[in-house]
Amino acid sequence: MRVVIVTIWATICGAAVIPELHNAIASISTPILNTVGSLKLASSEEIDDKPLKYIVVLKNGYIDADYDSHQDWLEKRHSSLQKRSGALETIKNKFKLARDTQVQFFNLDSVKGYTAILSNSLVKALESNPLVEFVEKDEQIHLSKVATQNYAPWGLERISHRKIQRQLYMGRFFYDADGGKGVTVFVLDSGIDSHHPEFEGRVTASRQFGLSASLNDNNGHGTHVAGTIGGRTYGVAKCVNIESLKVLGSSGTGMKSSILMAIEYVIKSHKRRLRSGDTSYKGSIINLSLGSLPSNAMDRAVKAASEAGVVVVISAGNEGEDACKISPSRSEFGITVGATDYDDTFASFSNYGRCVDVLAPGVAIQSASTRNKPPVLTGTSMAAPHVAGVVATIMSMQPPINSEYSSGELLSAQDIKRKLLKYTTKNVIRNLPQNTPNKMVYNGGSMGFKSLD
């Protein structure tokens, strides 16, 4: 199998039980239990089999007993492996992640499975197992900065004007004073300094995934991203609530499986808020500034979130290549964001192409900073939170669910995406690569959005 290396773009849940499924497949040529029971994990005599960590995605449609048998078998064999050659400890040390030696199950509704350290022989057997849809190697993710510059920001002013005279920014940002109210943005990143005065108590440091470190942002990237989304000075949506889901350590590295677990957490949180009857709740957003080589697991996770009603905003990437070659930016179910500079020119580092949905400021963006970290950063990860903030503003305009003006449901993620793209500023960006939409994000400015139709 090919090694997948994940890159966090820009200056970048707990285990779930196997779900109940009610549509049983009428007949299976080989019983699941017998198929799985014949598999064998590497022992101390099989060190050359080189166990590594994998993501296993299971198929939908089987009966509960099949999933339960698979889970029981897996946990028993995995426990046996832990007591053997020390191979799991080797992998744990390699990735420096406290929970790597555990089997972790996840359930994103339409995507379910687990992560575990497996031998090559077991992976091959799983790939031919009728219960398994695919097996994908888990790998580290890391930050990818393009530049750090030491001059003032301009992005907020740009997104609140249809046109602006180049290089003559006056610092005038027009915005909805209630923008983001009732909306929660989940920032999957290096953590957030939740006590920073920029956030006025609207940030919750909720969880960390796959990491042994604290919830603090010891890198600075997550705090910067959150500041652009909803900071009082640097933020687009100044009333939005933000939750920090820490998936990266202080060095900016983490695991792809941690992203899946965090997305699962968001989906469950969103559904819980809907069931609670809280009429002030207007929906949830994920800001996802990361990418990898094509990954079915990542793409499926974005799709599952969108289908659950969560809007996913994704940075296009900083490699200067086709965004359709990158996951999850290639997903049609997210909102993929490319970067522009202060001269309304497409940023040379930004990924491009038909998989990019919208453009936003991404060069020399000033935002909140942690101690000893520069407040001005560049990259498509700086462009994405501008869009997340505008999405939060749009979502906050929905009438309360119990209002006579409400249909009784929140707008779907795809409806929000269409609304965002409808109001973009068209054909103002220069030097745009072929097949890249010429659409600059727009927050409504002093004009406001006309409607949610």
Whole-angstrom distance, CA of residue 450 vs CA of residue 447:
8
Whole-angstrom distance, CA of residue 402 vs CA of residue 249:
42
DSSP states of 234-260: T-SSTT-EEEEEE-B-TTS-EEHHHHH
User: In terms of DSSP bridges, do strands 52-58 and 132-137 run parallel, antiparallel, or are they unpaired?
Assistant: antiparallel
User: In terms of DSSP bridges, do strands 241-246 and 203-208 run parallel, antiparallel, or are they unpaired?
Assistant: parallel
Q: Is 306 a catalytic residue?
A: no
Sequence length of the chain is 453
Q: Is 189 a catalytic residue?
A: yes
Which one from 189, 193, 217, 341 is the annotated catalytic residue? Answer: 189
Q: Residues 338, 368: contact at Cβ < 8 Å? A: no
Query: Exposed/middle/buried for 277, CB within 10 Å: 0-12, 13-18, 19+?
Result: exposed
> Angle CA(275)–CA(202)–CA(183) in degrees, nearest 5?
40
Q: Residues 230, 389: contact at Cβ < 8 Å? A: yes
SS3 446: coil
Crossing angle of helices 256-275/296-307, nearest 10°? 10
What are the tokens at 209? 């995934």
Query: Long-range contacts made by residues 303-307, C-beta under 8 angstroms, separation at least 24?
Result: 303/110, 303/111, 303/331, 303/333, 304/108, 304/109, 304/110, 304/111, 304/263, 304/267, 305/108, 305/263, 305/266, 305/267, 305/333, 305/413, 306/333, 306/334, 306/413, 306/414, 307/109, 307/110, 307/333, 307/413
- The alpha carbon of 403 is separated from its chain's Cα centroid by a whole number of angstroms, namely 32
Q: Is 381 a catalytic residue?
A: yes
Which one from 221, 224, 270, 386 is the annotated catalytic residue? Answer: 221
Which one from 269, 315, 381, 396 is the annotated catalytic residue? Answer: 381
Which positions are annotated as active-site residues?
Answer: 189, 221, 381
